Amino acid sequence: MADRDGYIWYDGKLVDWRDATTHVLTHTLHYGMGVFEGVRAYETPKGPAIFRLQDHTERLFRSAKILGMALPFSPEQISQAHLDVVKANDLKSCYFRPMAFYGSGKLGVAPMKNDVQVIVAAWPWGAYLGEEGLEKGIRVKTSSFTRHHVNITMCKAKANGNYMNSILANNEATADGYDEALLLDVDGFVAEGSGENIFIVRKGKLYTPDLTSALEGITRDTVVQIAKEMGLELIEKRITRDEVYSADEAFFTGTAAEVTPIRELDRRPIGAGSRGPITAEIQKRYFNIVKGLDAEHEHWLTYVK
């Protein structure tokens, strides 16, 4: 990804893509103490629009607060940086990666002697779990890796180091021929995917795990709102893996994964083993919202002008 044309916002300036580098003794590279976001902009009839930008920026700052990391920029500056990189790179739709990390001033477990540095990069990125996955659903495996305990790493922070757990789970699932992993919490209840929240549908009702050890997903929140508008009952509760096995429908949500149906968990087909009708309706509404085709939800869009 390093060798390409374009610009990355780096500590307040747009720098050439190839020059957006850091030293090998960068603190966060060694210990994973950093925070980041995943944000998307979609092509709309009024040009590119960033979906729920303010909510993502707010979560970035909440993550930093949880880790005790002081960001040297204001939320307004970070949000503006997103607009700047879309324009500088002339993007119509893209995925953004804002990240704050400790620099290379000093190594050792105490990071405080280091400056906090911030980047915002953006590039075109298609369906994270594949176009076919969006239509037909994906195959998922319950992970042998447990999702973080709430008092080991901070589950509400979208922190770099937390993703070692996600990568272990995803690698295991994909090496076994599945598309994604489902992680259980320390008590054995369903937590989330390696980079997604999960919903199931049973007898016309929607269920999703509470957020004890899952990330507070912005797509999850969007789906909660869509469900309300569809008049669907939504129950937030602890969910067991066999409730997923016996669900009528299941799907993952995430900025990267969008709304991706799950057609199989641990070799058991979910419902008819394809995208279910409620999932399809939620997915349709989600894409209409992010693509600026739903006037009711325009307040979630930040147009790039």
CA angle 284, 43, 122 (to 5 degrees): 115
Question: Which residue, 196 or 264, has its beta carbon nearer to ligand PMP?
Answer: 196
Residues that bind ligand PMP (CB under 6 A): 38, 158, 166, 192, 195-197, 214-215, 217-220, 253-255
The distance of closest approach from Cβ of residue 15 to ligand PMP in the complex, given in angstroms and rounded to an integer, is 25
Distance in angstroms (rounded) separating the CA atoms of residues 11 and 31: 21
Give Cβ neighbours of residue 175 (< 8 Å, ≥ 6 apart).
none
Provide the b/e sequence for 6-40 (b: ≥16 CB within 10 Å).
Answer: bbbbbeeebeebeebeeeeebbbbeeebbbbbbbb
Q: Which helix (H) or strand (E) holds 218?
A: helix 218-229
Question: Which residue, 14 or 200, has its beta carbon nearer to ligand PMP?
Answer: 200
The distance of closest approach from Cβ of residue 13 to ligand PMP in the complex, given in angstroms and rounded to an integer, is 27
The distance of closest approach from Cβ of residue 192 to ligand PMP in the complex, given in angstroms and rounded to an integer, is 5
Tracing tokens 């269920």 back to the chain, one arrives at 207
Distance in angstroms (rounded) separating the CA atoms of residues 61 and 78: 10
**Catalytic annotation present for 158:** yes
Distance in angstroms (rounded) separating the CA atoms of residues 24 and 236: 44
Query: Which spans in the chain are helix H?
Result: 27-31, 53-67, 75-88, 131-136, 163-175, 218-229, 241-245, 277-290
Tokens for 259, please give them.
């709304």
DSSP per-residue letters across 140-159: EEE-SSPPPPTTTS-TTS-B
Question: Which residue, 89 or 165, has its beta carbon nearer to ligand PMP?
Answer: 165
The distance of closest approach from Cβ of residue 254 to ligand PMP in the complex, given in angstroms and rounded to an integer, is 4
CA distances from 1 to 20, 88, 102, 177 (A): 11, 17, 21, 26
Residue type, 49: A
The distance of closest approach from Cβ of residue 298 to ligand PMP in the complex, given in angstroms and rounded to an integer, is 19
Give Cβ neighbours of residue 74 (< 8 Å, ≥ 6 apart).
none
Question: Which residue, 103 or 195, has its beta carbon nearer to ligand PMP?
Answer: 195
Question: Which residue, 107 or 186, has its beta carbon nearer to ligand PMP?
Answer: 186
Distance in angstroms (rounded) separating the CA atoms of residues 304 and 93: 11
The distance of closest approach from Cβ of residue 253 to ligand PMP in the complex, given in angstroms and rounded to an integer, is 6
Tokens for 221, please give them.
């929140």
Question: Which residue, 21 or 171, has its beta carbon nearer to ligand PMP?
Answer: 171
Which of 92, 136, 158, 237 is catalytic? The answer is 158
Q: Which residues are catalytic?
A: 158
